[in-house]
Amino acid sequence: MIPIQNLYYLLCYAWNRLPEQEQWLTSEATSFHRPLELLGRVLLMGTRRLLRQGLRQAYAEREEELGELRGRVLLETSLSRDLLRRGRAVCTYDELGPDTPFLRVVLGALAQVSRARQVSASLRQELRAVMRLFPADLPPTPLSSHALRAVRRTRPVGHEALLLNVCELLHSSALPEPAADGRTRFMDFRRDERLMAQLFEAFVRNFYRLEQRRFRVLSETISWQAAAEEPGDLSMLPAMITDTTLEAPDRKIILDTKYYRAALRPRYDRQRLISPHLYQLYAYLQNQKKPPSQHLEGILLYPAATREIDLRYTLGGHPVRVVTLDLNQPWPGIAADLLKLIE
């Protein structure tokens, strides 16, 4: 299980933020015992910063029964209520204010975490206190896939993007069945291999993007070196998209991350590599188009769980390394191991 402090670093890089940008939390992370406490504290401190900077305002559409005309009159609704005879009408108009989908979602996240028994009573009180700093008429939006997608489409950046990432992770770790008292229950998302695989992949890619300058770092779509009698048949081939590609004029590394409990599986009383992972990396290497002067290699990277390994092969003429990364060691060791991997 990844220690909470290392989980904090993993999330920072997965969300494309240097830990130094959130230095206020680095020393606190060791005191948390559950991932939910970490997320709740990030949500709290991020919201406080948002309030200090001033809430971003936007135009929101209002619909209201008024005694004077404003904006657009909803004639059918007004007639059905017999309002015009009384000198009133239902109008829709745009009003500038802090009522935005983003702030409603943040309020919804604050409300859910503030009711969770899995966080300390002091943190719940702090979350409720910061909620009272929002306008009283701003309603919270409960976290849902639909609400989060709507906010994501607005393409928030900077600090708002960080808070949206927290909200999305909270939603992913919320259990579908509430507690008996109606409170939202959250699981330890470190046990969700699918979710952790996504975070681990983004963590590794963004770590290299932020912490080294030799390679250009990207996720690359590789074209099949294939032909077909019917050109349209080529579109039926599966897409090849790398987790992380590190590219320099003289060297190119295809790095595939796999978040599995073990890098080896028992077969016929022997431990062997997971064949689909190796086949996938081999396909990436064999379908590369590169300059003759560029050295091409592949890396399969696993988190170290039951056993640490460091295996080196030459496959199809390309060096391939299968290696584990110990996420239980102190953070400086993790960072050093990642940088050493691409030396």
Q: Is the pLDDT of residue 27 over 80?
A: no
More confident position, 311 or 85:
311
Verify that 77 and 201 share a domain, yes or no: no
Mean pLDDT check: name the lowest of 3-17, 102-116, 174-188, 191-205: 174-188
Verify that 179 and 288 share a domain, yes or no: no
Q: Is the pLDDT of residue 25 over 80?
A: no
Query: What pLDDT does residue 337 have?
Result: 95
CA angle, 303 then 309 then 313, to 5°: 115
Question: What's the rounded Cα separation, in Å, for the pair 115 and 256?
Answer: 39
Verify that 22 and 140 share a domain, yes or no: yes
Residues 6+ apart with CB under 8 A from 82: none
Query: What pLDDT does residue 191 have?
Result: 87
HSE toward the beta carbon, residue 98, CA cutoff 13 A: 19
Query: What pLDDT does residue 177 have?
Result: 74
Number of structural domains found in the chain: 3
Verify that 86 and 130 share a domain, yes or no: no
> How far does the chain reach from its first CA to its final CA, in angstroms?
28
For residue 93, what pLDDT band results from cuts at 50, 70 and 90? Answer: confident
Q: Is the pLDDT of residue 295 over 70?
A: yes
What is the mean predicted confidence (pLDDT) over 255-277?
84
| Tens-digit pLDDT profile for residues 171-210 | 999 887 776 666 788 888 888 889 999 999 999 999 999 9
Question: What's the rounded Cα separation, in Å, for the pair 341 and 321?
Answer: 10
Which of residues 76, 97, 118 is at a domain's end?
97
Whole domain around residue 333: which residue ranges? 194-341
Query: What pLDDT does residue 343 have?
Result: 87
Verify that 46 and 8 share a domain, yes or no: yes
Query: What pLDDT does residue 225 have?
Result: 87
Verify that 40 and 89 share a domain, yes or no: no
Verify that 47 and 135 share a domain, yes or no: yes
Verify that 216 and 337 share a domain, yes or no: yes
For residue 159, what pLDDT band results from cuts at 50, 70 and 90? Answer: confident
Query: What pLDDT does residue 30 have?
Result: 59
Verify that 111 and 145 share a domain, yes or no: yes
Which of residues 164, 191, 218 is at a domain's end?
191
Query: What pLDDT does residue 180 have?
Result: 65
Give one DSSP letter per residue of 168-224, joined into a string: HHHHHHB-SSPPTTS---B--GGG-HHHHHHHHHHHHHHHHHHH-SSSEEE--EEPP
Q: Is the pLDDT of residue 264 over 80?
A: no
Verify that 204 and 253 share a domain, yes or no: yes
Which of residues 191, 208, 229 is at a domain's end?
191
Q: Is the pLDDT of residue 299 over 90?
A: yes
Q: Is the pLDDT of residue 20 over 70?
A: no
Verify that 117 and 244 share a domain, yes or no: no
Q: Is the pLDDT of residue 241 over 60?
A: yes
What is the mean predicted confidence (pLDDT) over 60-87?
87
Verify that 11 and 106 share a domain, yes or no: yes
What is the mean predicted confidence (pLDDT) over 220-248?
89
CATH code for position 272: 3.40.1350
Alpha carbon distances (Å) from 299 to 199, 242, 243, 246:
18, 11, 11, 11
What is the mean predicted confidence (pLDDT) over 144-150?
93
What is the mean predicted confidence (pLDDT) over 319-342?
94
Q: Is the pLDDT of residue 24 over 60?
A: no
Please report, rounded to a whole number, the percentage of residues in the chain having pLDDT higher than 90: 50
